């Protein structure tokens, strides 16, 4: 939404107003949607409070660095946020920042990770395809194939989140050290000389598993001394274990708060756009010549600005309160029942966009 980052009332808006609308709205949704997606995912535990807080902080730093055109710094922050609480929006932000920094190999490697991690995400597929197509003439494509699932670290940077039988990544021309890892702390180091425009598939065999430790040799224990048969005694009854503590609120409270946050965020964005366009800088300059701050058009712009500031505070407060409720006060599943499966909610937060993606 480029119109939200360039306000015409440059002389009347407070410092930082040009980015706060998008940033605060995105952060409010980031915390809520990351927590909801991880809490309901069947294949991953809910993220810790510190992980969510770290991801939100890194997203904010990445956004600010990107707005300042510090693209490599922005990419590092977006990658930190993604590896802390994985979601497609953060990964797209990292890919875009790497491309803008002309770091084609890392951009394409993150794109390959996006293909593997989010195969059904249309926006991710488009961003990843563009990054790989742009990089191919500048870098070498490598595919590591393993008979058993493996992970890859190239030049000290993570290539995969989880192990797989095939790992695709890209290297700048020159010498590189690639470490392939397996379970039980098994590794194999490869020395590669990459060439621009080349492509190679490497089959890598895992080292043998380490042998189990030998059983400790010990002398046989002497036979126990005979004892008199014990007299029967009444067995004291063991009190039943208390049920595990339950949190006071059900998921409906969290999702109600998340819905209110979405509504407030939408109202904030709409208000920001209205502040830009109604009456607009040209109208103020044209109609308020010689009238000072008492001009009706000037006062109308100031009122719209105040309304937007209030909506920013409301949406940010709702997002924070919703995150606290979901993390500390919501009982996501009944202990005596199996966890829910089949439902997944994934956050969609990236440069200039926020949202929620759900699937059955």
Is a pLDDT exceeding 90 seen at residue 195?
yes
Q: How confident is the model at residue 205 (pLDDT cuts 50, 70, 90)?
A: very high
pLDDT > 70: percent of the chain: 70
pLDDT of residue 228: 60
Is a pLDDT exceeding 50 seen at residue 351?
yes
C-alpha to C-alpha distance for 278 and 357, rounded to whole angstroms: 33
Does residue 305 form part of some domain? yes
Is a pLDDT exceeding 60 seen at residue 259?
yes
pLDDT of residue 9: 35
Who wins on pLDDT, 262 or 360? 262
Bridge partners, residue 359, by sequence? 344
C-alpha to C-alpha distance for 212 and 342, rounded to whole angstroms: 38
Give 219-247 pLDDT, tens digit per residue.
566 667 666 666 655 565 666 666 666 77
Q: Which secondary structure element, helix H or strand E, spans residue 27, and what is its range?
A: helix 17-40
The CA-atom distances, in angstroms, between 228 and each of 225, 233, 286 are: 10, 15, 109
pLDDT of residue 335: 58
What is the arithmetic mean of pLDDT over 183-189? 92
Does residue 230 form part of some domain? no
At 281, give phi and psi (nearest 5°): -65, -40
Does residue 339 form part of some domain? no
Q: 252 and 188 in one domain?
A: no
Q: Phi-psi bin for 174: left (phi > 0), alpha (psi -120 to 50), beta?
A: left
Does residue 234 form part of some domain? no
Q: 252 and 178 in one domain?
A: no
Helix (DSSP H) and strand (DSSP E) numbers for the chain: 9, 8
pLDDT of residue 35: 46
Residue after which a domain boundary falls, among 205, 239, 265: 205
Q: Rounded to the nearest 10 degrees, how much is the dihedral formed by the CA atoms of 221, 225, 231, 237?
A: -20
pLDDT of residue 256: 83
Residue after which a domain boundary falls, among 151, 178, 205: 205
Does residue 218 form part of some domain? no
Does residue 156 form part of some domain? yes
Is a pLDDT exceeding 50 seen at residue 113?
yes
Average pLDDT, the chain: 77
Does residue 116 form part of some domain? no
What is the arithmetic mean of pLDDT over 315-331? 76
Q: How confident is the model at residue 101 (pLDDT cuts 50, 70, 90)?
A: very high
| Enclosing domain of residue 200 | 136-205
Contact predicate 131/110, CB 8 Å: yes
**Radius of gyration (Cα) for the chain, nearest Å?**
28
pLDDT of residue 314: 81
Least confidently predicted of 56-70, 167-181, 195-209, 291-305? 291-305
pLDDT of residue 288: 76
Global pTM reads 0.54
Contact predicate 90/82, CB 8 Å: yes
Contact predicate 177/189, CB 8 Å: yes
Give 10-42 pLDDT, tens digit per residue.
334 444 554 454 454 455 445 444 544 444 444
Q: How confident is the model at residue 304 (pLDDT cuts 50, 70, 90)?
A: confident
C-alpha to C-alpha distance for 163 and 311, rounded to whole angstroms: 44
pLDDT > 90: percent of the chain: 38
pLDDT of residue 8: 34
Residue after which a domain boundary falls, among 205, 229, 260: 205
Q: What is the CATH number of the domain that holds 174?
A: 2.60.40.1120
Q: How many domains does the chain divide into?
A: 2
Which regions of the chain does DSSP assign to beta strands (E)?
A: 140-154, 157-158, 164-171, 174-182, 186-194, 199-204, 344-350, 353-359
C-alpha to C-alpha distance for 106 and 91, rounded to whole angstroms: 12
C-alpha to C-alpha distance for 71 and 90, rounded to whole angstroms: 14
Does residue 340 form part of some domain? no
């Amino acid at each position: 939404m480029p119109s939200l980052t360039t306000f015409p009332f440059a002389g009347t808006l407070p410092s930082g107003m040009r980015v706060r609308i998008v940033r605060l709205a995105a952060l409010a949704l980031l915390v809520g949607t990351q927590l909801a997606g991880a809490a309901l995912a069947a294949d991953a535990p809910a993220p810790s409070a510190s992980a969510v807080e770290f991801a939100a902080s890194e997203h904010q730093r990445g956004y600010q660095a990107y707005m300042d055109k510090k693209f490599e710094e922005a990419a590092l922050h977006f990658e930190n946020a993604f590896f802390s609480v994985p979601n497609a929006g953060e990964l797209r932000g990292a890919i875009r920042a790497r491309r803008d920094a002309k770091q084609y190999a890392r951009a394409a490697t993150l794109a390959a990770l996006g293909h593997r991690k989010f195969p059904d995400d249309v926006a991710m597929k488009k961003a990843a395809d563009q990054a790989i197509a742009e990089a191919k003439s500048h870098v070498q494509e490598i595919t590591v194939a393993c008979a058993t699932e493996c992970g890859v670290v190239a030049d000290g940077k993570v290539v995969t989140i989880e192990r797989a039988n095939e790992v695709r990544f890209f290297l700048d021309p020159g010498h590189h050290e690639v470490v392939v890892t397996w379970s039980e702390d098994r590794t194999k180091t490869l020395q590669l000389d990459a060439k621009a425009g080349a492509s190679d598939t490497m089959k890598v065999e895992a080292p043998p598993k380490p042998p189990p430790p030998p059983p400790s040799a010990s002398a046989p224990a002497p036979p126990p001394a005979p004892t008199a048969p014990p007299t029967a005694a009444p067995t004291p009854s063991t009190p039943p274990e208390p049920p595990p503590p339950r949190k006071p609120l059900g998921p409906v409270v969290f999702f109600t708060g998340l819905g209110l946050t979405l509504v407030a965020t939408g109202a904030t964005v709409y208000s920001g756009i209205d502040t830009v366009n109604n009456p607009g800088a040209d109208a103020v300059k044209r109609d308020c010549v010689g009238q000072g701050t008492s001009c009706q058009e000037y006062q109308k712009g100031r009122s719209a600005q105040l309304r937007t500031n209030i909506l920013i505070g409301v949406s940010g407060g709702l997002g924070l309160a919703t995150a606290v409720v979901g993390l500390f006060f919501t009982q996501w599943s009944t202990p005596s029942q199996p966890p829910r499966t089949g439902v997944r909610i994934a956050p969609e937060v990236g440069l200039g966009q926020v949202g929620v993606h759900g699937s059955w």
